[in-house]
Structure 1
C-alpha cells in the first residue's frame, strides 16, 4: 500500500532553505547574545518572584495562625471582662448605691 496524501486539512508552507542567512533576520535576532541574556534574566526574575511569593505566603500563614491562636482569645476575654464590668455598674446603679470610682494614691 502506498501512502496517500490526506484529503482536506491544512497544508503548511514549504520551509525556506538556510542558504541565505541574511534573509532570515528573525533567526539572527533570536540567536543573538543579547536576546539569550534577556531570556536568562527573565527566567531568573521569574524564579526569584516565585520563591518570594512562596515565602511570603508561608509568612502570612504563620502570622495568621499565630494571631488566631494568641490574639483572638485575648480579645474575647477582654470583651467578656468589659461586659461584666458594665453589668456590675448597672446592678449597683439599680440598687441605688453610687458607683464606686477606683481611688488611686
Structure 2
C-alpha cells in the first residue's frame, strides 16, 4: 500500500519534493507546448469562429425569408382561397337555379 502511494505521487508530481515534477506533469507540459498541439488548437478555434458566424448569418437569412413569406405570400394565398370559395359558391347557386354553369376559361 505504501509503494502505491509513492508511485502515484511520483507520476503526478505531488511528492514531498516540489522541485522534481512527476512524469505525467512533465509529459503533459511537453505535449501542451508542442507546435502541433498549438496549431490544432488554433485550427479548432478558427473552425468554431467560422461555424458561429455561419450559424448567425443563416439565422439572419432564415428570419428575412420567413418574414418576407409572411408579409407577401400569406395574403396572396388567402386571397386566392377566397376567390376559389367564391367561384364554388357561384357554381352551386347556378346549379340550384338551373342555369348552365358559365365557363370562366378563356
TM range (shorter): 0.7 to 0.9
Runs of 4+ with deviation above 4 angstroms: 13-16, 18-23
Structure 1 residues not aligned, in runs of 5+: 1-12
**RMSD over equivalenced CA pairs, Å:** 2.4
Give 2:76's aligned residue.
74
State the TM-score, normalizing by the size of structure 2.
Answer: 0.77
State the TM-score, normalizing by the size of structure 1.
Answer: 0.77
- 1:21-100 to 2 correspondences below 5 Å: 24-100=26-102
Note the C-alpha offset of 1:100: 1.8
Q: How many residues align?
A: 92
Q: Which has the higher contact order (CA 8 A, sep 6+)?
A: 2
Structure with higher helix content: 2
Structure 2 residues not aligned, in runs of 5+: 1-13
CA distance, structure 1, for counterparts of residue 53 and residue 35 of structure 2: 27
